[in-house]
Chains A and B, each alone.
Chain A
Amino acid sequence: MHALIEADRLSKRFGKVQALSELTLTLPAGQPVAILGPNGAGKTTFIRMVATLIEPDSGTLCVDGHDVVRDPMGVRRMIGLAGQSAAVEETMTGRENLVMVARLYGQSTAVAKASATRILEQMELVDAADRYVRTYSGGMRRRLDLGASLVGSPRLLLLDEPTTGLDPGSRNEVWDGVRAMSRAGTDILLTTQYLDEADHLAAHIVIVDGGRVIAQGTPGELKSRVGADMVELHTADVPTMQRAAAVLGGLGMGEPAVDPATRRCSLPVPGGAKLLPVIVRALDEARVPMEDIALRRPTLDEVFLALTGRAAPTTNAGDSEEDDAA
């Protein structure tokens, strides 16, 4: 049995930008996968290559055994794609949009109508089904677009930044939709620059940076990659936080990370449970009052920072135009 996706030394250059740099990746079927990375990491280029929209300069990419360059039709017969912008027609109703895509997948008129009705129910768009899309909210459009990518019952669903630019409520609606598809047995490959999204939707996370894979595994495995547990303490004000950071720094275990906005500082500590009393005593001796101190596993943010040397974008509010060249 071959893998669902097999990428071997994939490279792609757009002008001066090396979007993919010998990216090698094998993904088995049967689990939702998130490609996580910052802007320009190559995520969108990769997923567009899987969707047969762009060809690699070198290297090979097979989707369920079909080479994307030699047999793009073989790939297209089994995928559904929802790109970064909702590719739905404003001047058609939700139902008309779905029927059109279903007809293009090769369904007869009767089957296409039935598929459209099924998707409208699944995406909870029944009430708006016969309204023009130009009256839809952003979240409704995105759900319709997701639905259009599902209307052909694809084996593999490709979602390129499915929630970028959506408000939190709409984002949750899309997440629910994606989880429902995953439970129904559709394989999902999505890109995201949001750690929480990858954590919520994917069983397997691939971290991409600079056009190559820098780490992959389950969210738990990735968190273990950073190794140590984290001591995190919370103070009442910023000066106290700085004093606490100085005490932590004086323990000889490295410099703590500080976040003035939430007045927290944190430090990775190997064998944290044993060291916690030592840290508490040192803070007590220095007379640094704490609101709260806790020992915890590292977050994906910290994993990302440790692996790339850069902080990951964590809010879902900003817009992104990743891989514009693609």
Chain B
Amino acid sequence: MTMDLTIDTNQAASPLALNRGAPYAVAAGQVALRTLKKFVRTPALIIAGTAQGVLFLLIFRYVFGGAVAHTGALSYVDFLVPGFVVTGVLFQGMGAASGVADDCQGGLFDRLRSLPIRMLSVITGRVSADSVLVAWGVVVMTVVGFAVGFRVGGSAADALAALGLTVLYGFAFVWMFIFMGLSAGSPQAAQGLSFLVFPLSFVSSAYVPVSTMPGWMRAFATNQPMTQMVNTVRALTGGPAAERLLGHSVSYFLIPSLWWTIGLVVVFAPLAAWKLGRS
């Protein structure tokens, strides 16, 4: 009896029901769905991104390709395509940075932050959607790679593992790009910050062997995450010829790559959540 009265009083005090807020997974799903819809419904984004990727692959394959030596028993196309697809996740990720900056500027994140949902769910949604877009980019570039003559030298299982790892690396970098986008303030500034993908992609083993680089640069190129990740994928898809060229087996590159993957997420996930919470 007393209990009933208490409930009645509460209801009388607030004629409008309070909003509970979406559960974590629902909130993340809604944010992800919105990002994917935006991508799918903006044909210019898809065409420009894909065309740019294809163009660069053709340039490397047919313009520079013939002049690149030092790829040993591995043909240049089999050397290049793994590097191209893996560094492609960086260029795809740049889109995530400017997309997030755009959301900040457009006021969408202000609305999201005024809702009774956890900020980490917003980031999770955004990262999920951007990871799907990265995976899409990886698949497209892989198909184009096959079209220009790339062939797998190892087992099909190894090739599938390479594909999965590439998407995983992309997922890790997406966290970094989301943090950049949140920090930048405007899409233009985000684009500017994203230029650090150029040293990461070009000063690596992605397009040419590092052996001809000057010593100081080779030290950076050999130890930075892209090289480790590219070499993992290259060793998996190139088979014995690749392992001979690289001088090591897959696991030599895989272990540091996975550490980098974990490190990127561990560092940038909390940073991004913190930045969104107070931006």
Contacts and interface: CB of A to CB of B under 8 A. Distances in A.
Interface string B104-122: 0111101111111100000
A132 B41 contact: yes
Interface stretch (B9-17, B47-55, B228-236, B243-251): B9-17
Contacts of B105: 85
B21 A76 contact: yes
A75 to B, nearest CB: 9
A51 B114 contact: yes
Interface stretch (B26-34, B89-97, B130-138, B205-213): B26-34
Interface in B144-187: none
Given A85-B106, A132-B41, A100 B114 contact: no
B19 A87 contact: no
B106 A79 contact: no
Contacts of A80: 114
Contacts of B20: 77, 105-106
A177 B92 CA distance: 42
Nearest to A64: B14
Contacts of B41: 91-92, 132
B254 to A, nearest CB: 39
Interface string A164-202: 000000000000000000000100000000000000000
A152 to B, nearest CB: 5
Given A104-B21, A104-B22, A89 B34 contact: yes
A153 B19 CA distance: 8
Given A73-B21, A77-B21, A132-B41, A155 B14 contact: yes
Contacts of A104: 21-22, 26-27, 30, 112, 115, 117
A51 B20 CA distance: 16
At the interface, is chain A mostly helix, strand, loop or mixed? loop
Interface string A73-96: 100111111011111011110001
Given A77-B20, A91-B41, A103-B26, A83 B15 contact: no
Interface size class of A (residues with CB under 8 A): 35 or more
A266 interface: no
Contacts of B16: 153-155, 185
Contacts of A55: 278
A132 B113 CA distance: 24
B51 to A, nearest CB: 20
Given A73-B116, A79-B114, A91 B17 contact: no
Most buried by A among B27, B106, B114, B278: B114
B114 A106 contact: no
Given A92-B34, A106-B19, A152-B19, A87 B107 contact: yes
Contact of A53 (B14, B108, B110, B116): B110
Given A51-B110, A83-B110, A101-B115, 19 more contacts: A54-B278, A55-B278, A76-B21, A81-B111, A84-B107, A87-B106, A87-B110, A89-B34, A89-B38, A91-B42, A103-B30, A104-B26, A104-B117, A105-B20, A105-B21, A105-B116, A132-B41, A158-B114, A185-B15
Interface of B: 14-23, 26-27, 30, 33-34, 37-38, 41-42, 105-108, 110-117, 278
